[in-house]
Structure 1
Amino acid sequence: MSEVSTGFRMMHTMIRVLDLERSIAFYTELLGMTLLRREDFPGGRFTLAFVGYGPEASHAVVELTHNWDQAEPYAIGTGFGHIALGVHDIYAVCAALAKQGARIPRPPGPMKHGTTHIAFVEDPDGYKIELIGLDTMRQA
């Protein structure tokens, strides 16, 4: 690590969302994050909402960007992969998410070439969230 990069830390991942209220509800109610802050920018016609599992000063968070004039869903693109969240008892978590109406395109199970159990859930805009079974990960 260079001297320059020693002060770096992950701050947030930004995703564009079509329906801010629906997205905030997904991340807070289904995934258990907290709405940390929200700010409207009338001059730019957008709102930023930050959600996460702890304060921005010490945790990486997700920035939900809502452009007020966007009427059509965003194209996810081929460069973005997913956001990953570690969970305990991935099977129970996925069952609870499914019961609440979450779309789970990849049900929980072992990775194709490993022993860690994973699943994928989609947020309201189709962004993939990988759930990683913390109790199935090989410890380093």
Structure 2
Amino acid sequence: MAIDPVRLNHAVLFVADLDRAVDFYTEVFGMAVAAREAGAKAAFLRLPRSGNHHDLGLFGVGPGAPPRRRGGIGLYHLAWQVDTIEELAAARDQLVAVGAYIGESSHGATKSVYGVDPDGNEFEIMWMLPRTDWGSWEHEAPVEALDLEAELGRWSGVRTAGALVQDTARREGQA
């Protein structure tokens, strides 16, 4: 019988400098530190709209650890989904502003921008078309140039990430 998970609950990364990595993910992604484990040199972070205990674990291994080798065996990247195409454009701007932007592409049903954290861990920030608009991309995943301006014009205001949990700070800020 196959294992039947609902979703990927969290990812864990080894990082050279725990505080630097925490600063990056809290600044760039707006994550909050849900917990720290001093003995394990670990921090567990939660996305602002997540109902999860933590979405990302970071374990500090120190600067002497071998660097990640691009193209080697192991994790290639994490993909974080945003709710609107406008959020994708804002993510690209934020990545450019902090020097973490490395590219963008269209995969048909998804539109993506890519970045790296201070340890070279690559990540994707992606927006998905409405399911009814996948068409031939149902079974395709091309890698093509992304025309984000055109996508903004076509998909502005369309939400596709489903129900999101709003954190207390955001709700209080809107009150």
- For Structure 1 versus Structure 2, the TM-score category normalised by the shorter chain is 0.7 to 0.9
Say which one has the larger Rg.
2
Distance in 1 between residues matched to 2:5 and 2:89, nearest whole Å: 38
Is 1:117 the counterpart of 2:111 in the alignment?
yes
Task: Determine whether 1:78 maps to 2:41.
Answer: no
- Deviation sequence 1:81-125 (CA, Å, 0-9, x none): 2111112321222112211x2321113x422xx142111110111
Pairs aligned (count): 127
Q: Structure 1: any 5+ residue segments left out of the alignment? A: none
| Distance in structure 2 (CA, Å) of the matches to 1:105 and 1:94 | 10
Percent identity of paired positions between Structure 1 and Structure 2: 27
Q: Structure 1 residue aligned with 2:35, among 34, 37, 40?
A: 37
Which of the pair is proportionally richer in helix? 2
- Measured on the aligned residues, the alpha-carbon RMSD in Å equals 2.9
Question: Does the Cα contact within 8 Å between 1:19 and 1:66 map onto a contact in 2?
Answer: yes
The Cα offsets for residues 62-95 of structure 1, whole Å up to 9 and x where unpaired, read as 1100124x42453244221211111232122211
Q: Which string of whole-angstrom CA distances, capped at 9 and with x for unpartnered residues, describes residues 27-85 of structure 1?
A: 111111111111111xxxx40101122699835511100124x4245324422121111
Alignment of 1:1-140 (within 5 A): 5=3, 10-41=8-39, 46-53=40-47, 58=52, 61-68=55-62, 70-76=63-69, 77-87=72-82, 88=84, 89=86, 90-99=88-97, 101-107=98-104, 109-111=105-107, 114-134=108-128, 137-139=129-131
Structure 2 gap ranges (5+): 133-175
Query: TM-score, normalising length from structure 2?
Result: 0.60
TM-score (norm 1): 0.73
Contact 1:16 1:64 in 2 (8 A): yes
Structure holding more strand per residue: 1
| CA–CA distance in structure 2, aligned partners of residues 96 and 104 of structure 1 | 8
